[in-house]
Structure 1
Amino acid sequence: MGKEKRKFNYTKIEKSWILQDWANSAYSIMITTAIFPLFFKAVATGADVSAANSTAYLGYANSIGTLVVSMLAPILGAIADYKGYRNPMFTLATGLGIIATISFAFISDENWQLLLILYAFSSIGFSAANIFYDASLVDSTTPNRMDRISSAGYGWGYIGSSIPFVIFIIFQLTGILPISQIALIKGGFVATALWWFVFTIPYWKNVKQKTYIEKQPHVIKNSFLRLWKTIKNVRQHRNVFLFLIAYFFYIDGVGTIFKMATSIGSDVGLSTNDLIIVMMITQLVAFPFSILYGILAGRFGNKKMIYVGISTYTFICIFALSLDSLLTFIVLAVLVGTAQGGVQSLSRSLFGQLIPKENANEFFGFYNIFGKFAAVIGPLLVGITSQITGNSLNGVFALIILFIIGGIALYFVEEPPLIKE
């Protein structure tokens, strides 16, 4: 009876791990997606920077942050595999992200250059912290529960990111606070940083590094040597890298649809308010379906459920050709919500089941690289197809290629058998 009960409840460590997704997801929507781009554009415009240049500068900051973390990810992970290193490195990265985020509120309205530098640092801190967070999944639960716990993390992350965003939108639309728009946005920065910090406290208290490599002299040098050895002996980890190839393609399609959704919606004729509604629908639908994917993975297997997600996205690419109104866009948003979190969470847990546990941080460094650089082909495919055909919906349809290639590659990945507890 105890074992049966545990299947449907979380341990203290599992809850603490899940809550970290709730904590840092606020950064994704409040800073990356919603209020920072608008704030930066306003500050840059006030400093006589043209709209085109400010957009370009923001793009450069995003690219630099992504490139820095992607290039450093494997070595950071390799260092974090040593005993006693992962948690301090997680804290350092998280602290960098939180301090940079709260600093936005104290930058003068003309100093757009410093604002952009701090944004790049916040992005680096956020992404680096996630390397260590993802890797800590293997220490936070058992192999049989990884799918469920990873899915719960994504699911609760969607809710955790939505709450501060919804509150911010209510204040913005109603104007019930007697403050200026700029003051409201700066308050949003402070609230995001505090949300991130407060809900990370349980992770700091309860999630410990259990699998590790014993400390050696010359940690950094030996980390590079271990990393090089892993790359040279790629055949020994054939299953892991086969998965990464599959992941590279299908997650590129997932990420591109999410990133290009507002642009496509604008082309269809949706207003800003319509797009906000659609975004919230996706977040709310993703919550229960992310958790459902984890439950079903325990019954039908991880790979099968990832294939369900890939199939859903394949249908989304086809359905996108019929987008012509708010109603059809809402249907698409619901479809995306049913699969987005499930595909991402089960990919993370399957990878955690495939890798050697004592090298989890190093391998999740590679996972981070493949995930980051996967965001290249999809947008390029959408752009080229849209220009050639003169229709952005055809660009979304072209993404079907990525899901087909990813699905084929995933077929050759051997899913590890789970040991019954």
Structure 2
Amino acid sequence: MSSSTSGVADLGPLNRAREQRAWYWYDWANSAYVTTISTVLVGPYLIGIAENAAVDDRVNLLGFSVAPGALPAFLVTIATVFSALVLPPLGGFIDRTEKKKQWLAGFAWTGALFASLLFFTRGDNWELGAVALVGANLCLGASSVVNDSILPLISTEEERDRVSSRGWAWGYLGGGLLLAANLALVTVLPFGLDVAEAARWSMLSAAVWWAAFTFIPFLRLRNHPPADVEAVSGNVVRQSFGQLWQTLKEMRHYPTALTFLVAYLFFNDGIQTVISQSSVYGSEELGFDQSVLIITILMVQFVAFGGALLFGKLAQRYGAKRVILGGLVIWSLIVTVALWLPEQELLPFLALGFGIGVVLGGTQALARSYFSLFIPKGKEAEYFSFYHAMERGTSWFGALVFGVVYQMTDSYRPAIFALIVFFVIGGLLLLRVDTERGIREAGNVVPSTI
């Protein structure tokens, strides 16, 4: 009996590897929306549509008079607030269901459907575009919670950094490839398309890409039964809020996870603000035209693919915490160099973009895998819902600091440099995180390298 048992092969690593390869494809799928639509095309396109409908240079958004140029920012803010309210109870529900891949695909396909409405947004019908943008962003956030909660189910603590980094890398590669094709369509304009038509077709391609590639994780991932869920009576909604309430009460027993969450809020806010304001800095402060900014965006995407893989390798050798701290040092150097960057000199600007690409994917990928080590089994979706909700709920703070400093100095240079405070505070808080203690508090296995 013992000899036959010992001769049975352990198929766990092989099965995990298959699921991991399937899981990477969701980062590949949703990054098309993030890069082509959210980052590049939807803002200018919606502004143009709203300008067609504006009366006295204003449109009516939920009873408020809004300038067309501010419309995309307000819509993203609305989606962000809704996400911060909805994601935590959603996490409680996802932890209680076995059908995680179905919910992942459902949110993705619904988000892609909302995004596809942008193709039909034309003339002065900015309201349809507003519904599309808010709905797609909400579904993206919900699908990200489900997707991240699957990571601990398909990887051991030892594998976590590598798997998360490869997912981010695939995302940057997929998003970059489609973005390159779409920017060629928008800028070269073959087939007799005007700029608006090319933008609509490009945004539709991103929606189709998101929906189509989601079929791979939907078909190849397995459903894993819930583990250690709270015993809460009532219907689905009551159970979800009940589990959320229990988790909130118990989170005080996991101070390491909470400390890391606060650290992440600071340094991630700095990262997001650098990315969102870099095109403004390049055009308004350094004087580069749109073609240079497009080339730089594409370069950052493809460099970030390699950067995510590099950071994953470094984490296996030195531990995720040390590598994230190293990344924050580089981010601090980036905003310091930006303070002194000469105008209209392309090579220094491209070098700065290259540096951003190296650390962009790596720090975010390792933050995801590092945080997963502090999550008790059975609460993956809830903790990642807090991770995403708190990230979205405070993502305005960096932009506020950037705007206030610019208002005070009338220069984007001190505004971009002011973001160093987010990396410094985030790094100092991260130094206080006791990795081994946090892993043991959560009842997880301590990896060989932390």
TM-score, normalised by the number of residues in structure 1: 0.93
The Cα offsets for residues 225-252 of structure 1, whole Å up to 9 and x where unpaired, read as 2222222233211111011011011111
List 4+ stretches of structure 1 deviating above 4 A.
Answer: 6-10, 213-217
Moved more, 55-64 or 83-92: 83-92
Alpha-carbon distance between aligned partners in 2 of 1:84 and 1:7, rounded to the nearest angstrom: 21
Task: Answer yes or no: is 1:382 the counterpart of 2:388.
Answer: no
Task: Answer yes or no: is 1:135 the counterpart of 2:155.
Answer: no
Alpha-carbon distance between aligned partners in 2 of 1:318 and 1:210, rounded to the nearest angstrom: 46
Q: CA deviation at 1:292?
A: 0.9
Q: Judge conservation of contact 1:211–1:358 (CA < 8 Å) in 2.
A: no
Letter in 1 for 2:20: E
Task: Answer yes or no: is 1:100 the counterpart of 2:114.
Answer: yes
Among all aligned residue pairs of Structure 1 and Structure 2, give the percentage whose two residues are the same amino acid.
28
Residue 54 and residue 239 in structure 1: after superposition, are their counterparts in 2 closer, same or farther (change >3 A)?
Answer: same
Residue 7 and residue 82 in structure 1: after superposition, are their counterparts in 2 closer, same or farther (change >3 A)?
Answer: closer
2:443 matched residue in structure 1: none
1:408 matched residue in structure 2: 428
1:123 matched residue in structure 2: 137
Letter in 2 for 1:366: F
Task: Answer yes or no: is 1:186 the counterpart of 2:200.
Answer: yes
Residue 100 and residue 349 in structure 1: after superposition, are their counterparts in 2 closer, same or farther (change >3 A)?
Answer: same
Q: How many residues get paired? A: 416
The Cα offsets for residues 209-230 of structure 1, whole Å up to 9 and x where unpaired, read as 4252468642321221222222
Task: Answer yes or no: is 1:288 the counterpart of 2:306.
Answer: yes
Q: Judge conservation of contact 1:148–1:294 (CA < 8 Å) in 2.
A: yes
Q: Judge conservation of contact 2:112–2:136 (CA < 8 Å) in 1.
A: yes
1:264 matched residue in structure 2: 281
Task: Answer yes or no: is 1:36 the counterpart of 2:38.
Answer: no
Task: In structure 2, list runs of 5 or more residues that go unmatched.
Answer: 1-8, 59-65, 440-445
The Cα offsets for residues 11-44 of structure 1, whole Å up to 9 and x where unpaired, read as 2211111111011000001111112222212222
Alpha-carbon distance between aligned partners in 2 of 1:70 and 1:241, rounded to the nearest angstrom: 17
Q: 1:330 aligns with which of 350, 368, 378?
A: 350
Letter in 1 for 2:399: P
Letter in 1 for 2:289: S
Q: Aligned to 1:354, what secondary structure does the other structure show? A: coil
Q: Judge conservation of contact 2:325–2:427 (CA < 8 Å) in 1.
A: yes
Q: 2:161 aligns with which of 144, 147, 162?
A: 147
Task: Answer yes or no: is 1:230 the counterpart of 2:247.
Answer: yes
Letter in 2 for 1:143: E
The Cα offsets for residues 353-403 of structure 1, whole Å up to 9 and x where unpaired, read as 110121100110100122112312211222222222332111121111111
Residue 8 and residue 178 in structure 1: after superposition, are their counterparts in 2 closer, same or farther (change >3 A)?
Answer: farther
Task: In structure 1, list runs of 5 or more residues that go unmatched.
Answer: none
Q: Judge conservation of contact 1:247–1:370 (CA < 8 Å) in 2.
A: no
Task: Answer yes or no: is 1:80 the counterpart of 2:94.
Answer: yes
Alpha-carbon distance between aligned partners in 2 of 1:406 and 1:136, rounded to the nearest angstrom: 26
Q: Aligned to 2:379, what secondary structure does the other structure show? A: helix
| Superposition pairs of residues 341-380 of structure 1, within 5 angstroms | 341-380=361-400
Q: Judge conservation of contact 1:322–1:328 (CA < 8 Å) in 2.
A: no
Q: CA deviation at 1:10?
A: 8.3
The Cα offsets for residues 258-299 of structure 1, whole Å up to 9 and x where unpaired, read as 111011112211111111111111111111110110111011
1:156 matched residue in structure 2: 170
Greater radius of gyration (CA): 2
Alpha-carbon distance between aligned partners in 2 of 1:220 and 1:378, rounded to the nearest angstrom: 34
The Cα offsets for residues 301-328 of structure 1, whole Å up to 9 and x where unpaired, read as 0101101110101111211111123322
Moved more, 135-144 or 335-344: 135-144
